[in-house]
């Protein structure tokens, strides 16, 4: 019984669509995060004077808002993934489940 259910799910075109879309989107988000994070690390390694540039008369340097921006970017792409998962991916999963249990 379990093998038959697994085979039906694997043959479902919606499953193939879900697998492809989720994988492509996940790799895109991973690439974006890697560029942002490693870009910051490269700045730390090679452009310390740039990051140490003071903003105004206070003690805040340019590195602080850039670091905060990375944290905000991380939260934003997580929210983007959750939004897409809750709409598109969950709808496809429901279609696959309904089709496999017929």
Dump pLDDT digits (tens) for 8-52. Answer: 888 888 889 999 999 999 999 999 999 999 999 999 999 999 999
In the block, which residue shows the tokens 């974006």? Answer: 32
Give the model's pLDDT for residue 1: 53
Number of independent structural domains in the chain? 1
* Confidence at 7, pLDDT banded by 50, 70, 90: confident
CA 22/CA 90 separation, integer angstroms: 11
Percent of the chain with pLDDT over 70: 98
Burial of 11 (0-12, 13-18, 19+ CB in 10 A): exposed
Domain range for 75 is 2-100
Give the model's pLDDT for residue 26: 95
Q: CB pairs under 8 A, 24+ apart, for 61-70?
A: 66/40, 67/40, 70/36, 70/37, 70/40
Dig out the tokens for 38 from the structure: 């490693």
CA 2/CA 101 separation, integer angstroms: 11
Q: Which residues contact 85 (CB under 8 A, 6 or more apart)?
A: 22
Q: Determine the 3-state secondary structure of 62 from DSSP.
A: coil
User: pTM value?
Assistant: 0.81
């Amino acid at each position: 019984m379990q093998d038959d259910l697994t085979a039906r799910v694997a043959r479902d075109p919606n499953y193939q669509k879900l697998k492809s879309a989720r994988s492509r989107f996940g790799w895109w988000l991973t690439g974006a995060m890697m560029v942002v994070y490693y870009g910051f690390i490269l700045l730390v390694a090679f452009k310390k004077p740039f990051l140490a540039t003071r903003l105004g008369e206070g003690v805040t340097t340019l590195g602080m808002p850039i670091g905060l921006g990375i944290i905000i970017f991380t939260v934003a792409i997580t929210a983007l993934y959750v939004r897409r998962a809750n709409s598109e991916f969950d709808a496809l999963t429901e279609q696959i489940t309904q089709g496999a249990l017929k």
